[in-house]
Structure 1
């Protein structure tokens, strides 16, 4: 008997929901897995907006300029055909979201409003106040619920993905997952799996803006089963995060885009309240360091500027790691309307009103550009061929990845407001590719062997049992804090090879210490410590890929910065000058090796790194300065 081909989507954020819509709309039965209720997925935390060239401000913006900004923002390290298609489809995505009922902010004339974001000179960011991600997610969720009510999607909320089911050829044949309440471990056969499980900011906890569920464990588990992991070293530190004892919280880039200014007192011993300090005694360092962009400079440059001013120049507020993000000079009604959500967050957790006093902020780990390696098929126009089963496909047949857990769209640094765009677009593409893959299968039966299912379930159950019975001296939560402190100090905003070597050694020790962990909780119902300890094990494996990839890349590119390998362009020189040609030769020697994607492959002894060429066919660089 021929059984209908089954699909699975893991993750209930924008990427996962878009993939689920496309697969279910094509008529294939689909199971959707999420660690919690879908509407709590991390996409709701995105604040500032989503990019698309609509040119509602009459600035003569163009899709080509969006493509160029994304390519240059990523320091030429992303394959360009996917970027081309991403930017070309962005306006259509906005119109689709509108038809789903998303309440974008509008001008008084009723036109979609757009704001400025970092790294660009045109206002092309659509937004819904300062809670854009939430509005987009809820819009797509309603469409998924419609299909769920028709029996075409089955949800498994509060279930955690543990591993892939793979046949003898390595092809993905489904998953093993655990019910987070009953701790039941169960196999779910499927012919295609789409992973949309977000990023891995918890490697840097508590100095991260991400949710406690952004562990990267799901992607790490695929990586340990043979999936390649690309550009792991590139991790974006958001320049404007509010400080906190438990974690750092994002203060959206929209605050800078709407006119917010970053500054510190010029006097390092300044003790006056910030609004009492005269303009002439304030150091608006982003405006001085980057006159072309000012406060809307790209995130990696803003974060390093803050690092320089506080750590190297000693000008942090009160001598600490803090600078001011100031909105007090702006119209109160305008700021409240455009940035209400982040103002409420700051008032709640800092206890002061950003309308009355500047916010105190510092960079925090925010977004990984790296993720699972995924493929694409180029079409005659230079973009991705629509519907190709290669698009968003990992190197494991039958496994697709999309959203923040893939590496495809951001290169060495992500432009602000391109994340909601890439999550939505890649999810839609992954769903369409999965449908093409399913339609291309010719099988008498879609049911894998019972032996395969039973063996993987038993393996995962044994891992649970080993952790439950372990009675060593180590506390998993203490180990996690040590992991976050290690990654923040040694694999952070500014990096050195000695620090990275020390990080790898310490990660090996953490890996060993985790074997002597004691859960302190032996319950077999809703044992959160068991789930967390399993995730911690996979976080350590992923952290090793990040640190090893960073050690191997000896250059400054985007969010990866090693000052020892920075090659400056001589001031006032041009092609043909001896100083410039000397620079060109040093640049060429370095970049002939390093203008490539790093690809990590898991081994029991640690990650193995290799490199592959980047597709530069859409907008090839013509001058060494383009590669900085």
Structure 2
């Protein structure tokens, strides 16, 4: 029998859901829970408006078809699964693509300052993997505008009083309580393994506390800092996902890491140059003369090699990111045709991304934010000089495994407690920290969409779960929460006492260089064996760390030691998954296995944590059972391909005939699977 109230216990305590992560996925989840009347505790490692979603530049996809090109949500879905090399379960993608126009209109009503056409309609630009103008954008700072808009909506709920089902106000309780500068340490599980709360650490006082939650939703972003030089923020260590993975959550498709083709090479980190630059007409090229000493702007058109346009005449510079990155790597690394450096006398791992042929007023209107970043960090005017760029680690298609329930029309069954649920009862995930929407490769501008859509799905799913629980987390013995705090405090105290000879930042640098060099664009089994051996070595060195700070307040050194261990554990999932998957699919490319192997590898990689002799291991499984509201749900690694039949990806000729087509002259690739 369900609890009398899903909002207030019989003793008057407010039953809250815990959302960890204040980016687009987390904020959307909070909004949908509040709309369902469920109070929320929102935790964030940084101020919510500093969440990594703020860094997104290019836009958000939605097939509104204002330009009359014949685009539709159906085509969007088909191109997404096609671009992801058919590794994504298709019903969630289908639901996302069909919800996309409504999401963009919702954001517009919230006040997001989207660019508009002269007629006042929402403007759309092209992004990779499609021939349609499908990407709504707010200049080149779309992520920031979306994050701020959703943050305003959540702030409103911080002022709204909690009411029970009868409309009676609970004094002193607001719908949303925000906990910024708190580091997630792990979920708290009851005697049956159900998530009933979390432990977290205040990064100012370093105090560790427990928090009761009827359910927990992680929306904590990706693990890009495992690779060191990344377009990700330094907070993107993947620590939260790693923690729950170690507590029994399944991690899926970890080997699929997206390398963005265009970033600014830098000594400290790699700063993204958005795909929107190519979407607005930016062109990628290298000089035909490998010893070309003139500056890019002085190289005549006839002496430039536009290699993406030559090889992919239909898509040109907007082929999917995995393909573009491999082509840049081929040009620079294998062919040695990168931009020549007069000082070193070598060809650098750089190509040109050129917008100097475009009107400056258009660039300032649509791309000012990203061009300003280039000018600031490269100390060169991109309006007058071609930009020098190279691929960089950008996004994780893999993440925590989450379930879904398919509706009769091939989308998602709205409100099903299975949607976005991990295999740990009461634990949900949304955004980049889960794996559901992108398969083996994410199409540009689908990330903001998947974060918001994932939150829109997770909110009702969690609300349904909470309303059907047979008991509250407040019914769990207090000793369960006290024990969890003691365990985490003991772990932290042990870190503070670490006085070995190893520097944790050097260990991270060694790990990051290895992962970046040997586990990104091209993967070789013999080399991957060495990567795994390096992870073994780094794990052993971690136990000999000397903590760099033992202070009682704002101790970032001790916090980093904890994050480092979690990064090492996820690095193993990534590297071992890459070693095992003997095929090339999407972002996972092995020159020794160049073909996609649907017979053996059209399946989800499902990883479970194991530990032996104080060292992490990965157990790979093909199926699992998990509990949900008194029932057992059985799932396998099979990919749902019920909507679009898998076929080979061919972007070389695809769309070539339609690039200048009129009327009904379209290739079948432009309609993606008709």
Post-superposition shift, 1:624?
Answer: 5.1
Distance 1:430 1:444, change over 3 A: closer
In the other structure, the counterpart of 1:436 is 464
Distance 1:529 1:444, change over 3 A: closer
Residue pairs, 1:373-522, within 5 angstroms = 373-443=401-471, 446-522=474-550
2:385 and 2:651 mapped to 1: Cα distance? 40
In the other structure, the counterpart of 2:598 is 591
In the other structure, the counterpart of 1:573 is none
CA contact (8 A) 1:189 1:447 kept: no
In the other structure, the counterpart of 1:613 is 638
In the other structure, the counterpart of 2:255 is 233
Does residue 261 in structure 1 map to residue 283 in structure 2?
Answer: yes
Post-superposition shift, 1:530?
Answer: 1.0
Residue pairs, 1:38-57, within 5 angstroms = 38-57=48-67
Does residue 246 in structure 1 map to residue 256 in structure 2?
Answer: no
SS in 2 for 1:39: helix
1:400 and 1:121 mapped to 2: Cα distance? 35
Post-superposition shift, 1:627?
Answer: 12
2:16 and 2:476 mapped to 1: Cα distance? 12
1:610 and 1:287 mapped to 2: Cα distance? 42
CA contact (8 A) 2:315 2:651 kept: no
Higher mean alpha-carbon deviation, 528-537 vs 72-81, is at 528-537
Give the length in aligned residue pairs.
Answer: 605
1:458 and 1:310 mapped to 2: Cα distance? 53
CA contact (8 A) 2:319 2:651 kept: no
TM-score where L is the length of structure 1: 0.95
In the other structure, the counterpart of 1:180 is 203
In the other structure, the counterpart of 2:131 is 121
Does residue 145 in structure 1 map to residue 155 in structure 2?
Answer: yes
In the other structure, the counterpart of 2:335 is 313
CA contact (8 A) 2:91 2:412 kept: yes
SS in 1 for 2:232: coil
Structure 1 or 2: more helix by fraction: 1
Q: Specify which of 394, 405, 425 is matched with residue 366 of structure 1.
A: 394
In the other structure, the counterpart of 1:582 is none
2:54 and 2:460 mapped to 1: Cα distance? 24
SS in 2 for 1:214: coil
CA contact (8 A) 2:548 2:558 kept: no
Post-superposition shift, 1:448?
Answer: 2.1
SS in 2 for 1:174: strand
Does residue 97 in structure 1 map to residue 107 in structure 2?
Answer: yes
CA contact (8 A) 2:198 2:211 kept: yes
Post-superposition shift, 1:245?
Answer: 1.3
Post-superposition shift, 1:542?
Answer: 0.3
Q: Specify which of 24, 31, 45 is matched with residue 21 of structure 1.
A: 31
CA contact (8 A) 2:196 2:473 kept: no
2:43 and 2:642 mapped to 1: Cα distance? 37
CA contact (8 A) 2:214 2:472 kept: no
SS in 1 for 2:113: coil
CA contact (8 A) 1:5 1:438 kept: no
Distance 1:439 1:181, change over 3 A: same
Q: Specify which of 85, 97, 101 is matched with residue 75 of structure 1.
A: 85
Q: Specify which of 266, 287, 297 is matched with residue 275 of structure 1.
A: 297
Post-superposition shift, 1:298?
Answer: 0.6
Distance 1:400 1:416, change over 3 A: same
Does residue 191 in structure 1 map to residue 202 in structure 2?
Answer: no
Q: Deviations over 1:12-51 (max 9, x none)?
A: 0000001111112222221000001100001010000000
Post-superposition shift, 1:626?
Answer: 7.7
Does residue 201 in structure 1 map to residue 224 in structure 2?
Answer: yes
Q: Specify which of 224, 233, 236 is matched with residue 211 of structure 1.
A: 233
Q: Specify which of 63, 75, 83 is matched with residue 65 of structure 1.
A: 75
SS in 2 for 1:400: strand
In the other structure, the counterpart of 2:318 is 296
Query: Which structure 1 segments of 5+ residues have no match?
Result: 568-586
1:444 and 1:283 mapped to 2: Cα distance? 65
CA contact (8 A) 1:164 1:172 kept: yes
Post-superposition shift, 1:108?
Answer: 1.3
